[in-house]
Amino acid sequence: MALKKRVRDLIIGEDKFIESHGEFKRAMLSGQFALIGMILVTFYLAFDFSMGVYETLPIYATAIFFLAITLFIHRQGDHELANYILLPTVNITIYLFASSESLNSGISIFFVTTAIAAFAVFSYKKRLHSILFAAFTYFLFVLAYFVDFSILPRREYADDMMLFTFIVNFTVALPITVMGVYLLISLNHYNALQLVQSNEQLMKTNAELDRFVYSTSHDLRAPLTSLMGLINIADQNADPQEVKRYLGMMRERVHSLDKFIKDITDYSRNNRLEISREKVKLTDLATEVWESLKFAPDAENINFQVDIPDEIVVESDKNRLKVIISNLVSNAIRYHDRRKEAQFIRLRAQVNGRVFYLKVEDNGQGIAPEYHTKIFDMFYRANEQSKGSGLGLYIVKEALIKLSGSIHLESSLGIGSTFTVKLPKR
């Protein structure tokens, strides 16, 4: 991993990021081609020197210079320009040596490698450029072997040296060619996988949208219709006590409507906003959540307990974490058991290696076993008397998916419920 990161930093640059997966892969492959090219040129330079051949030095030096230029341009972020320098440099260098050697030396194999590289380092949108570079490669191949012209002196090899040169060239060209082909296959597989995932997400979104439109229209109209009815009744009633009672009922409807709109907002934000990680002290977050909920009408007799070590600090998306805790705690408030004297909601946390656990425990009404999996569905209500929007636990589940987390429920009717959330520590 350390070597892989060093190569990445050498090609792309430290602390630089390429958003597109395909562009990143192509830039890395192009940079690796340039690095391998510099190593090969250095190897062949040393080989020629050992054989007493010095005429090739200017060509080797020029090739190394331009390959180094491509790496520099990659680090500047202009990966397309780097390819425009890389491919001609490699093609012309191969041509110069191919035109001065016998076909049996195996140098022509590199023409195949560079043609494949042309398709590997350019995206599909730039496929015309790939075709033109491949055509340029073929033109140089024809020129090298069917036109009697060479800038370099003719290089003749003995039979044993010819075989050795062929084996070396083939051994070098094969893995480089495989790298290019593998990238094309892997990108095709990645794009196909992305398409499948996008289709699945689209089907899920369409199904949710149908349910969302139906339930939203009902849940927005219901409190408004009730509110209008209460206003009409209050308007016709002269008794101040009765009017006050009706105002209290109106306030409940408005609170219900406000909570529903807040749930819709949380749902929208979770789907739309990117994950933003920061250090979060869990005790402070728990206190912040309770401060925003403790004045709810149903919360006045509930004892909220925070059993979280003060030193626990995690690196996560604070807003999504707050939404998760808020919905779990507000659910515990909403479905508390008025018959019990010592009503409580207890929030616990524990770190275990690379993950941490959050537990929201209450001694409220509890949830029947047959509803344990259904309560996380969008707009699900166990019965018509349920006070919530049916979105809260669904939003919790979706937020946890975004954060690579999970949730587990333990609950019994009349005893209480414990929701256990598991999340990465960072």
DSSP 102-154: -GGGSTTHHHHHHHHHHHHHS-GGGHHHHHHHHHHHHHHHHHHHHS---SSPP
Whole-angstrom Cα distance, residue 35 to residue 403? 37
Q: SS3 of 407, please?
A: strand
For 418, how many CA atoms within 13 A lie in the half-sphere containing its CB? 11
Whole-angstrom Cα distance, residue 380 to residue 376? 7
Architecture of domain 276-426: 2-Layer Sandwich (3.30)
CB neighbours of residue 393 within 10 Å: 21
Domain locations along the chain: 2-199, 276-426
**pLDDT score recorded for residue 55:** 81
* 18 burial via Cβ count (<10 Å: 0-12, 13-18, 19+): middle
Within the chain, which residues score under 70 in pLDDT? 1-2, 205, 208-227, 252-253, 255-256, 259-260, 262-273, 378-390
Whole-angstrom Cα distance, residue 255 to residue 391? 15
Whole-angstrom Cα distance, residue 41 to residue 55? 14
264 neighbors 300 (Cβ within 8 angstroms): no
* pTM of the predicted structure, to 2 decimals: 0.49
Q: 358: part of which helix (H) or strand (E)?
A: strand 355-362
Distance spanning both ends of the chain, measured CA to CA: 19
Whole-angstrom Cα distance, residue 51 to residue 98? 18
Most distant pair of Cα atoms in the chain: their distance? 117
364 neighbors 417 (Cβ within 8 angstroms): yes
Among 98, 97, 138, 132, residue whose Cα is nearest residue 118 = 132
**pLDDT score recorded for residue 352:** 85
